[in-house]
Amino acid sequence: MDFYILLGLERGATLSDIKRAYKRLARRYHPDINPGDRVAAAQFRRIAEAYETLSDPDRRHRYDVHGPAAAAADPATFGFEGFDFSVSVEGADAPTFGDLFAEVFQQRTTALRPERGADLHDTIDLAFDEALAGGPRSVTITRQVHCQTCRGLGRLAVAETRCTYCQGSGVVKSARGHMVFSKPCSHCAGRGRLGEATCPACGGRQLQMRSDTLVVNVPPGLADGARIRVPSKGHAGPNGTEPGDLYITLRVAPHPVFRREGDDIHMALPVAVHEAALGARIEVAAPDGPARLRVPPGTQTGQRFRVRGRGVASPRDGRRGDLVVEIRIALPPVLDERSKELLREFGRINGSGGVRE
């Protein structure tokens, strides 16, 4: 296949163009990015051969004049067999292989970097009055914590021995196609010697499960579904990373009389016929104590009146909502003839269609 077409270049491409094209394709087809993919590995070898040829001025000239056979006849200026990633290719602008894959390896290292511990979620059940008042509440949670035996390291100090995994060199090499990678030994952290053993308490996992009882301060006035964040009381993270947070959701039980809308408290108030007709001052049992409500003469069922500042204190700024009272006119029981006669008289005076017996 034509090397220029393989790299997606025109024949007049500069060395910088060749470098960019190779870098782009190498990221896509490199065996370390596509483990086990034979097609990608074969394509990467062809891309490497094309880059090897076109990045060398002499070999590129022979390729342009005589074709691939002439370019391949000349021994490679730099081979890929057992190639160390720290070796640079010839040419002032040519990249090292480490440069070509630096971003790829950086992304993989970032992905492997341990993150903070997971957040933990729980609930607290409160009565309506308890949610309005707030205050301390106990909650028991089960979460991951750092192992107390090894202090979250997963290993314990023992007498030092030579690392058998890297044979004491501190470096492990692996081959991928034509490439040879070197990296610090993960078993001995590149030291070549082992002075630690797996922690028997946590089995090297660094974490253990534990139940804790916490006292959480519930701010007054929180509504049903509100969440409280308790920092650093979630699951501990691996490798000593910081723990997550604890999020507590409030479940507030409904009240038989009061209903909350925002920071306002709503309630229905039964009022006698004569109180609604003639007006009255009525004592109302508000959530925070008795309140006085003036019912004006001629009040009808469904009318609403506000008692300012007798609702919920806002958890945001402390301002109190209102108590909203909806009137429900209650008819009294008619127990004697005198009461019936008074109602008939009332109907004759105020009614328009007569009184039914």
Residues 13 and 89 occupy one common structural domain: yes
Enter the tokens of residue 200. Answer: 């028997």
194 occurs within a structural domain:
yes
Q: To the nearest whole number, what is the mean pLDDT of the chain?
A: 81
In this predicted structure, which of 79-88, 314-323, 334-343 has the lowest mean pLDDT?
A: 79-88
In a domain, 331, yes or no: yes
Residues 283 and 344 placed together within one structural domain of the fold? yes
* Residues 14 and 74 both lie in one domain: yes
pLDDT score recorded for residue 72: 55
Tell me the helices (H) and strands (E) count for the chain, helix number first.
Answer: 9, 16
Q: Is 20 left (phi over 0), alpha (psi -120 to 50) or beta?
A: alpha
pLDDT at 255: 95
> Does 120 lie in the same domain as 242?
yes
Give the CATH number of the domain where residue 8 resides: 1.10.287.110
Domain end residue (candidates: 55, 82, 112)? 112
Provide mean pLDDT across the span 259-271: 95
Specify whether the CB–CB gap between 7 and 52 falls below 8 A: no
Kindly state whether residues 276 and 236 are assigned to the same domain.
Answer: no
* Residue of higher predicted confidence among 186 and 63: 63
In a domain, 72, yes or no: yes
Among 10, 20, 226, 210, which Cα is nearest to 131's?
A: 226
Q: Tally the domains of the chain.
A: 4
Distance of alpha carbon 243 from alpha carbon 246, whole angstroms: 10
**pLDDT > 90 in the chain, percent:** 35
Each residue's pLDDT tens digit, 172-219: 887 665 666 778 887 777 777 776 677 888 888 888 889 999 999 999
How confident is the model over 119-148, as pLDDT tens digits?
999 999 999 999 999 999 999 999 989 888
pLDDT for 313 beyond 70? yes
pLDDT classification of 159: cutoffs 50, 70, 90: low
Does one domain contain both 133 and 247? Answer: yes
User: Is the residue at 59 inside a domain?
Assistant: yes
Residue 354: its pLDDT value, please?
A: 46
342 inside domain: yes
Separation between Cα atoms, residue 45 and residue 38, nearest integer Å: 11
Is 90 within the bounds of a domain?
yes
Q: What is the pLDDT of residue 138?
A: 94
pLDDT of residue 173: 80
Query: Are residue 102 and residue 47 in the same domain, yes or no?
Result: yes
In a domain, 356, yes or no: no
pLDDT of residue 78: 38
Is a pLDDT exceeding 50 seen at residue 283?
Answer: yes
Check which CATH number belongs to the domain holding 328 and give it.
2.60.260.20
The span from the first CA to the last CA of the chain, in angstroms, equals 110
Q: Are residues 182 and 74 in the same domain?
A: no
Evaluate if residue 299 carries a pLDDT over 50. Answer: yes
Share of the chain above pLDDT 70, in %: 82
Spatial separation of the C-alpha atoms in residues 198 and 204, rounded to whole Å? 5
* pLDDT at position 339: 83
| CATH number of the domain that residue 181 is part of | 2.10.230.10
Q: What share of the chain is helix, strand, coil (3-state, %, to 5)?
A: 25, 30, 40
**The domain containing residue 191 runs over which residues?**
155-198
Grade residue 40 by pLDDT with cuts at 50, 70 and 90.
Answer: confident
The verdict on 74 and 183 lying in the same domain is: no
Q: 160 with 264, same domain?
A: no
pLDDT of 3 reads: 87
Region 249-264: mean pLDDT is 95
Residue 90 has pLDDT above 60, yes or no: no
**Selection from 77-86, 153-162, 274-283 with the highest mean pLDDT:** 274-283
Same domain, 229 and 121: yes
> pTM of the entire structure?
0.55
- List beta partners, residue 183: 172
68-77, 119-128, 292-301, range with the lowest pLDDT: 68-77
pLDDT of residue 205: 80
pLDDT of residue 70: 60
CA distance 116 to 230: 15
**Whether 334 contacts 342, CB under 8 Å:** no
Smallest Cα–Cα separation from 315: which of 257, 231, 252, 234? 252
**Residue 249 falls within a domain, yes or no?**
yes
Verify that 121 and 210 share a domain, yes or no: yes
Interatomic CA distance for residues 184 and 190, integer angstroms: 5
